[in-house]
Amino acid sequence: MSIVLSGIRPTGNLHLGNYFGALKNFKKMQHENECYFFIADYHSLTTHPTPDDLHGNVRQVLIEYLAAGIDPETATLYIQSDLPETAELYLLFNMNAYKGELERVTTFKDKARKQPDNVNAGLLTYPSLMAADILIHRAHKVPVGKDQEQHLEMTRTFAKRFNRLYKVDFFPEPVAYNFGEELIKIPGLDGSGKMSKSDDENSAIFLADEPKVISKKVMKAVTDAGPTKMNSPKSEPVENLFSLMKAVSEPETVQYFNDLYNKCEIRYGDLKKKLAEDIITFIEPIRERIKEISANDAYIKKVVKMGKEKAHISGSKTIKEVREIIGFREFN
């Protein structure tokens, strides 16, 4: 059984792209592996040193994780700052992390450009904190997107370096976990690119969106002037609507509109109307669960406590061994 770990920064509500890109697979994965899912609240300070509502954001992501099907009894679902052993491992990794290699990381360069007035040490050492997240549970597999591959590479570097420096075979070299062909690309509604919360707010459909909001967003989605030749290729915005439809609708529905498109008889208004309906139906059980869980503070509290305890069992074991390996030993 592999140890799988995944983390998400609490910077906003989860959307359909998060669902199809990760959450949907987590639901199955948790039964086949030893899974750790955590909310990276320490990490969020690298870009938002004084978050408006850190606690509320953490709570929301936690609720949405649960609503999407993560079972806190089966997997370990916890908040990063509830496992301070992570911070200790981060400190120790930083002692063997070099300025040059950290400065070369693409995400660091991007962030430094975006926030020139706040190029803080946390931003520079983001990869060592992420390595600590992963290696505190000695995880083997990390389901991440392309943008996180370099961070994972750094994690392997820190793991190998630790093993070499202290002459042990302690940390595994974690690899990216691919969901294989099941991974569906979820585009946004603004005509190009993938669904993202940072773009235009109408481009993403959030798991907590009310039906009316979903309809409004879908009806406003970018399209084109319509096909003029039979069987012509689709423009990106139209292809995107079909991709969304493939994710949430019955195959017959996709086929139906595809045939209309090929015959140049398609009316985008009809397609959008059906797409909105199907997204609403698809999201409904998740939205209902979000509401139910939100209203149940006692349950949330219980889940957080359980996650903290389970994460601590694994994390404290690792840090105890790391201390022993480096030479922080007890006096008898």
Rank residues 18 and 249 by Cβ distance to ligand TRP and give the closer one.
Answer: 18
CB 155, min distance to ligand TRP, A: 8
Q: How far is the CB of 80 from ligand TRP (least distance, A)?
A: 7
Task: Using only the alpha carbons of the chain, give its radius of gyration.
Answer: 22
Considering the complex, state which of residue 4 and residue 189 has its C-beta at the smaller distance from ligand TRP: 4
273 included as an active-site residue? no
Active site annotation includes 109? no
User: Which residues form the interface with ligand TRP (CB under 6 A)?
Assistant: 5-9, 40, 43, 130, 133-134, 142, 144, 148, 151
Closest separation in Å from C-beta 82 to ligand TRP = 14
The residue (of 6 and 57) whose beta carbon lies closer to ligand TRP is 6
Shortest reach from residue 11's CB to ligand TRP, in Å: 9
Q: What does the block give as tokens for 303?
A: 């889940």
Active site residue 197: yes
**Which tokens go with 65?**
């994780």
Our CB check for ligand TRP shows the closer of 154 and 221 to be 154
CA dihedral 79, 81, 86, 92 (to 10 degrees): 160
Query: How many C-beta atoms lie closer than 10 Å to residue 324's C-beta?
Result: 11
Helix H or strand E segment including 3 = strand 3-8
Nearest to 69 by CA among 117, 3, 133, 19: 19
Task: For tokens 């999407």, name the residue.
Answer: 68
d(CA 114, CA 244): 31
Indicate which residue of 194, 246, 274, 308 is catalytic.
Answer: 194
Question: Which one from 27, 197, 234, 317 is the annotated catalytic residue?
Answer: 197
Question: Could you give the residue numbers annotated as active site?
Answer: 111, 194, 197
